[in-house]
Structures are given as structure tokens and as C-alpha cells.
Amino acid sequence: LRELSVSAADPPPAQSRPISVRDAQAIILREIKPPTPGPTPVTSDVVGLMLAADVAADVDSPPHDKSMMDGYAVRSADLASGHATLKVLEEITAGRTPTRPIVAGCASRIMTGAPIPQGADAVIMVEHTRYGEGHVEINTSPPRPGQNILPRGSEMRRGDVVLPAGTLLRPLELGILATVGKTEVSVRPRPLVAVLSTGDELVEPGEVPGPGQIRNSNGPMLLALAAHAGAGHRYLGIARDRPESLRPLIAEGLQSAVFLLSGGVSAGALDLAPDLLCEAGVTAHFHKVAMKPGKPLLFGTYDHADGRRTLVFALPGNPVSSFVGFELFVRPALRRLMGHTSPDPEAISAVLAQDFHYNTDRPTYHPARLELASGRWRVRVVPWQGSADLRALAQANALVVFPAGDHHHDVGQTLDALRLE
Ligand code: AMP
Ligand code: MG
């Protein structure tokens, strides 16, 4: 490895000791340069991105005092008893402008969304009225002034910041953007994640494995994790455990904002990824994390001549290790790249629902089920065969963190857990 910057206080020449998950997360976030935001047309493609600049209203909404009901616009003074027969002046539908002020003894038929005519201060629901021969008979309780009227500007006033920078764009925000006439917004581009699986033993899911072979489960899983995290994604296929096979695919992966490589990252005879990444110009920031599953995990950066930076994650090949590595390190990196202010996964304090004896040499992210019981999170351990056991992980909705050592954990003990999306 060309360079390691484990921590400023204690920079080892080559990484002998694994670093903590927390330090690893801090190093990753420190190395990220979020791309400059740019103007982007508002289409469903921006859903999931963060606004990089405030959006202000260019109009009052509603643009006029507006009726919230189909009914009759009246003067509340005419209905002090709740009963009256009023002369109907005109019919005001949404999009029309009233032409007749409401004077004593008069009303106008009005539809939802239509502007309130001058002189009126209440709308009576059509259900409480009966129309006949130019007059309306009203039988209701006395209306209060303002009843069924939404005043101009009550939702937003021209100049109000309706969506501050840092807002996550969901479908509902697109409705607000449309209200204020924003057809273009400033957002950071969706990061593109390239995924490369490595291993001589791998075949694609559509193939039948021969002797000694297994199917490539990490490729589809990592692509889907990236997509689900809101990133763009690109599959680079399977590299064989040979420099000639890995080199061109590494070069390809380094073209994306984020390059995920799985397998070949530990210390086996055919674990070529660290050396070949280094050869390609990647600066490694750490290569071992004190965690289970997935201790060998390399994070590096590659700086392009034009100033762009590619983040490189070489994840261990075992599927649960790859998955946990994604959740702990890649997802926060993607969140930061997309402009989230709090990218780190949120730790949930949970009460252990069972006695559990566990002996582990590293802090362990164990598959578990979290449930909310009378206002407290309870966590139950899911039986698990280790880092290849993706099937057990599918029964989990969380990872519970057990400290290193040989411990009896008692029911009722509080542990940290990480909720899985
Ligand atoms: P490695 O990190 O390359 O030493 O691989 C560790 C274990 O994960 C080995 O048993 C590999 O066969 C397995 N493995 C590696 N890559 C994949 C993959 N893409 N899908 C499923 N299993 C994998
Ligand atoms: Mg391998």
C-alpha cells in the first residue's frame, strides 16, 4: 500500500492493526469532496436528491381568498340566525373572477378553489342550501366570519423560503416546486457506483455452477443496494483472480464516482485487489477494520487529473461481509456525496430480549430483529452461521453490536443496534 492515513496522531507505516469502525467512518467522510451542485430540470429523476439551494415562492398561495367548498358565498351578518333566503347574483367557478360584490340579502354560487367575491366573508356548504328561481334558501348554524375561506397567502407568501437547502426531494416536494414555478433546481448529481465482482470460482446467476464454483451473489446485491441508496449504478461483471483480468476492469471502475469491488481483498494467495489498486494509482487509507464480519476492507481514493475523486471500496467476498461493509461505510459515503448533513448510520439503543452467550475476537455486527415494545426497542438475536450466511441475514431487520470478548449477555442488557433499510 502506497499510503495509509489511519489517524493523524498515530500514522503507522503499513496498517498492522485494524482500526475501529468509527475511525474508519470518519476517515471516509473526511476524504469525500461532494461534487458541485448544478441546475437540473425538475422531473421524477430528481426524487431522492437533496436541494443545494433555498427555493422561494414567486407567488402568494392561494393567489386569492379562496373557497374551500362548493356552496354559496355570503355575508355572515345576513345569517345571524342561520336561516335566510338570499338572492343569487352569479356563479363563480374555479378560474373565473367574480364580477358582483355581495351586498345585504345577496349571495353568489361558488365552487371549490374559486375566488371569494368582495363583500362575502363566509361560504355555506351546498348541502345546507336549496336553490329555486334565482334565490337560495339556507338552513344552517350561524357561520363565523372566514368560514370555509382560505385567505390569500395563507399557504405561502411571495418570497417565503418554501424548501430550504438540504431538503430531500420526494414526490411531494415536486408538488411544491410546481406550485412556485420551479422547473429547475440546484442539486448535486447522483453519484455513479461501479460494481465489480472478483473470483475464479464465480459464475453469473443464470448459470449452473460447475465443480468448485458458486454463483455471484454480491454483484446483484451491491447494485441493488446502490440503487436503493439513490445512486446510479453500473455493473462491470466478474474479474478473474489474475492481473490481466483485473487491471482493465479496475481502470474502468475508477471512471465512476464510487467503485465497489468485492472479493480478493484479504491476504490469500489470489487476493490481488490491494496491490493492483495501488498500482492503478489508488491511495489506500485503511485496509483492516476491527469488526466482524468483514475485517479486510480497503478504502482508497483516486484523484483524476481534472480534479474529480473516485472513492474505492474493496469489500470482502463473503456476501454478509459485503453487505455489512456497504451499510457501515458505502451508504454513509453515498449520503455525504449526495449532500446529506448527517450521513452516518443512526445507532439505536435496544434492550436484549434474551440471554445470549457470545465469544468473538472483534466487535461483531450480528443479524438481529428489532421490535418496538411499549416505547422501547427490544432486540433478539437471529441464529447465524457467519459471513457467508446471507439467508439468516434475510430474517434480520437490524445488526446488533456485540463487543469483543467472551461474554454472557443478560436479558435486559442495553446494546447498540443498526437498523437495516
Ligand atoms: P474472498 O474475499 O475473495 O477471499 O472471498 C471470500 C469468500 O466469499 C469465498 O468463499 C468466496 O467464494 C466468496 N465470494 C467471493 N465473491 C463472491 C461473490 N461475488 N458472491 C458470492 N460469494 C463470493
Ligand atoms: Mg476471491
Ligand 2 midpoint to CA 90 (Å): 80
pLDDT at 147: 97
Segment 104-113, tens digit of pLDDT: 999 999 999 9
How many C-alpha atoms does 390 have within 13 Å on its Cβ side? 11
Instruction: Give the separation between CA 136 and CA 130, rounded to whole angstroms.
Output: 6
Instruction: Give the separation between CA 50 and CA 385, rounded to whole angstroms.
Output: 39
Buried b (16+ CB within 10 A) or exposed e, 227-236: eebbbebbeb
5 or 296, which is more confident?
A: 296
Segment 80-100, tens digit of pLDDT: 999 999 999 999 999 999 999
Share of the chain above pLDDT 90, in %: 90
pLDDT at 421: 80
Residue 407 has pLDDT above 70, yes or no: yes
Ligand nearest to the CA of 314: 1
**CA-based nearest residue to 361, from 302, 416, 405, 322:** 405
Ligand 2 midpoint to CA 197 (Å): 9
Q: Which range is least confidently modeled, 212-216, 339-343, 376-380, 404-408?
A: 339-343
Ligand nearest to the CA of 317: 1
pLDDT at 17: 87
Give the pLDDT mean for 173-197: 96
Segment 335-382, tens digit of pLDDT: 999 998 888 888 999 999 999 999 999 999 999 999 999 999 999 999
Q: Which helix (H) or strand (E) holds 382?
A: none
pLDDT at 15: 66
* Cross-strand pairs, 202: 214
Q: Ligand 1: residues whose CB is within 6 Å?
A: 197, 199, 201-202, 214, 216-219, 262-266, 268, 316-319
CB atoms within 10 A of CB 275: 12
Ligand nearest to the CA of 205: 1
Cα 402 versus chain centre, distance: 27
Residue 9 has pLDDT above 50, yes or no: no
Longest dimension (CA), the chain: 96
* Cross-strand pairs, 38: 187
Q: Report the nearest atom of ligand 1 relative to the CA of 316.
A: 2
Instruction: Give the separation between CA 220 and CA 217, rounded to whole angstroms.
Output: 6
Give the pLDDT mean for 207-222: 98
Residue 8 has pLDDT above 80, yes or no: no
| Structural contact between residues 291 and 360, judged by C-beta atoms closer than 8 angstroms | no
Mean pLDDT across the chain: 94
Instruction: Give the separation between CA 1 and CA 287, rounded to whole angstroms.
Output: 9
Say which amino acid occupies 36: T
pLDDT category of residue 4 using cuts at 50, 70 and 90: very low
